[in-house]
Amino acid sequence: MSRSRTFGRISDMWRLTGAATFTLLLVLGLAGSATVMGQEATPSAEAILDRYVEASGGQAAFDKIQNRIMKSSLEIVGAGISIDLTMYQAKPNKAYTLIDSAATGKMESGYDGETVWEISAMNGPQIREGKEKLTTESANIFDRDIYWRDAFSKVEYVGEDTVNDKPCHKVKMYPANGADPQTVCFDAETHLAVKSETTIEGPMGTIQLVAYPSDYREVDGVKMSFKTTMEIMGQTRVLSITSMEHNVDMPADRFDLPAEIKALVEKNKVEEPTEKDK
């Protein structure tokens, strides 16, 4: 595989994990009273998600969290590539991700509430638009699955599945901003999120992602998955969180646009056609 192709694939995964990280936000852990599939009537999506929130620590616990810093390692299985990532997030929807590895060089991505951007050694500064922007905007809503009534316009129960030989309930969730829906599978006994399916928009087109969260731990009264195994573009990738902190004293300009991105924003404003030009 050429370096260019490998770099492109790493870039796509980076955008996925850097967006308040779509997968990590999806797989917040939960615990609760056991409910075995078949012992109760078919649950509603709303009931499953409300149980999820309560078992994850409860709304009040999440309301106390204003920002988050996560350090993690992404391994591309079989490729001999391991990448370290640092992700910064703050309510309501701001995010910044930094990668600096020998395999990729320095890569940055962020969202300040208006502009979805990234800078890489290979592609330089870029602003994301269209479906790719919608996906990132939705993913960057802080703990969006906890605040699901605001983040999603529709949720529906779509049946049963089996993960690791255990039954689970599937909920399909439609982002309020029109981004592509995601389907999350919650273990019927533990109520933990054990599988998610979604699509990611990127320069390489629409990519199918299947993620399997595990290794749940409690941090500041809320439960999070510290390991997620992902199947994407024919590869297995393992994202492992090495540290997580909440309510950190961050620099005031942590989520400000870099100078290169500000220049692109201004350039795009100048190049936008006026009504007279149309």
Instruction: Map out the domains of the chain with their CATH numbers.
Output: 3-33+50-150+197-269 (2.50.20)
Residue 87: HSE in the Cβ half-sphere, 13 Å Cα cutoff: 32
Q: 176-210 pLDDT, tens per residue?
A: 999 999 999 988 887 878 899 998 766 667 788 99
DSSP secondary structure code for residue 180 in this structure: P
pLDDT band, very low/low/confident/very high, at 237 (cuts 50, 70, 90): very high
Tokens of 224: 């999070």
Stretch (H or E) spanning 24: helix 22-26
Bridging pattern class, strands 222-232 and 205-219? antiparallel
Tell me the pLDDT band of 37, cut-offs 50, 70 and 90.
very low
- Predicted confidence at residue 148, as pLDDT, reads 93
List pLDDT tens digits, range 112-151: 999 999 999 888 999 999 988 999 999 999 999 999 999 9
Query: Higher confidence at residue 214 or residue 16?
Result: 214
Backbone φ, ψ for residue 4 (5° rounding): -60, -45
pTM of the full predicted structure?
Answer: 0.82
**Contact between residue 87 and residue 97 where contact means Cβ atoms under 8 Å apart:** yes
Residue type, 274: T
pLDDT on residue 8: 41
* pLDDT average, residue stretch 160-180: 94
The SS3 assignment for 7 reads helix
Determine contact, residues 6/12, Cβ cutoff 8 Å.
Answer: no
Residue with the bigger pLDDT between 112 and 7: it is 112
